[in-house]
Amino acid sequence: MKTLVLFAVLVELLALEETTLTEFKLGNNLFTSDIYKELLKQQSGNFLISPFSLETVLSLTLTGARGQSAEEMRTSLRLPSNEVEIFEKLISELKSDKYTLLSANKVYVKDGYPIHDGFKKIATEKYQADFQNIDFGKKEEAVKEINEWVEARTKNRIHDIISANDIDELSRLILINALYFKGNWSTPFPEGLTHPKDFYPKETEAVSVDTMHVTASFHYYECTEVDAKFLELFFEDRDASMVVVLPNEKNGLGKLESKIEKVFTPRNFTTELVQVSIPKFKVETSIEFVEILKKLGMRKVFNGKEADLSGMAGEPGELEIGKILQKTFIDVKEGGVEAAAATIVHVPAVISALEPDLRVPKNFKADHPFIFYLKVKEVVLFGGRILIPGK
């Protein structure tokens, strides 16, 4: 009888855990849409964001926030209340031996500045973060140390995440998440089929770009609600994929972006034979997130009079978030994808392959602006848009 009771409790706990992860994934989709919408107001060309890197480092920061500061952060990030357990689980569960996914957290602390043991314990045990004391007064040495750590954790793809202008005598902590992904397509694009094709950044304006081609079975979905086609390109581990969302009209990106929250919503894909044409592309983006997050409702932690990061160090009003910087990189080519991101939170003291197929293929010709996102186990790691490949 006891065995039956324990089993029932175990089933209930597992169901609760799955519900919580589902809640997190929904929040991750919505948060990606939230920041995408805000970026539209300041980015005029291609851009790439890593919502997961941003969520990770801000979730780590959140463990040191208290009161209304913490509530605003959790609400703006669309995180469930047990975000610490979620990130602890995801750090290991998102990895695979069929692709490379590296996520590393680091906390640099001003020499001699006392950090609360509780924050350090959660950061090291749950987020696997390393702590290192650093002399922010020696700006050039500190910047060199931080940038070299980021470069090493992103396979030399993210450079100069921080400059001497980003730290000063008030700097107390810098929290960093470095994220790197590299995967091979399950169905690669034959290099011999890549050749220049016209791409239309505007309906009547064409540029020549190197375009990849393949015809094979893919996950495919046509959505009348957003007037676009969805194509899911799997990596060798089918838990990881890149989704390309292509407006049906050459000038349809704006209309698609007006319904951006629908873009990142999971779709009921069907397996179809698809004739795919998609440009090779690289994107690198640098973003300062403070003003964006303020517009999403996260305000108190940026205001020295109201910020409460006392779970991290000091007393309420002693620390505030000064800057949140992110650099991202992605390279999409015939064999697969390489992507990287680094996000830092600066906390100062307050001063203020093809087989014959008889099916008629669908046509997915990405010859005009589109949106894309890379996800692992339904968690969006990277997302962005292409207006002109290579620009």
Note the pLDDT tens digit of each residue in 247-293: 999 999 999 999 999 999 989 999 999 999 999 999 999 999 999 99
pLDDT surpassing 70 at residue 13: no
pLDDT surpassing 60 at residue 121: yes
Note the pLDDT tens digit of each residue in 14-47: 554 666 788 899 999 999 999 999 999 988 899 9
Backbone angles phi, psi at 185, to 5 degrees: -60, 145
146-150, 226-230, 344-348: least confident range: 344-348
User: Cα–Cα distance between 337 and 281 in angstroms, integer?
Assistant: 10
Q: Indicate the CATH number of 185-280+354-386 among 1.10.3720.10, 3.40.50.300, 2.30.39.10, 1.10.10.10.
A: 2.30.39.10
Return the pLDDT at 223.
Answer: 96
Backbone angles phi, psi at 266, to 5 degrees: -55, 140
Q: Provide mean pLDDT across the span 107-113.
A: 94
Backbone angles phi, psi at 117, to 5 degrees: -60, -35
**Fold exhibited by the domain 22-183+282-348:** Antithrombin; Chain I, domain 2 (3.30.497)
287: its two tokens: 């973003």
User: Cα–Cα distance between 43 and 289 in angstroms, integer?
Assistant: 13
Q: For the chain, which residues make up each domain, given as ranges?
A: 22-183+282-348, 185-280+354-386
Return the pLDDT at 81.
Answer: 85
- Location of structure tokens 């609400």: 75
- pLDDT, the chain, mean: 91
Helix residue ranges, H only, the chain: 2-39, 51-62, 67-77, 83-93, 117-125, 139-153, 253-257, 260-263, 290-295
Exposure of 57 in the CB half-sphere (CA atoms within 13 A) = 31
Total-model pTM: 0.92
User: Cα–Cα distance between 54 and 90 in angstroms, integer?
Assistant: 14
DSSP 63: T
- Location of structure tokens 């676009």: 228
- 145 neighbors 167 (Cβ within 8 angstroms): no
> Which residue from 322, 312, 353 is spatially nearest to 116, judged by alpha carbons?
312
Q: Provide mean pLDDT across the span 100-115.
A: 95
Residues 6+ apart with CB under 8 A from 271: 217, 218, 219, 220
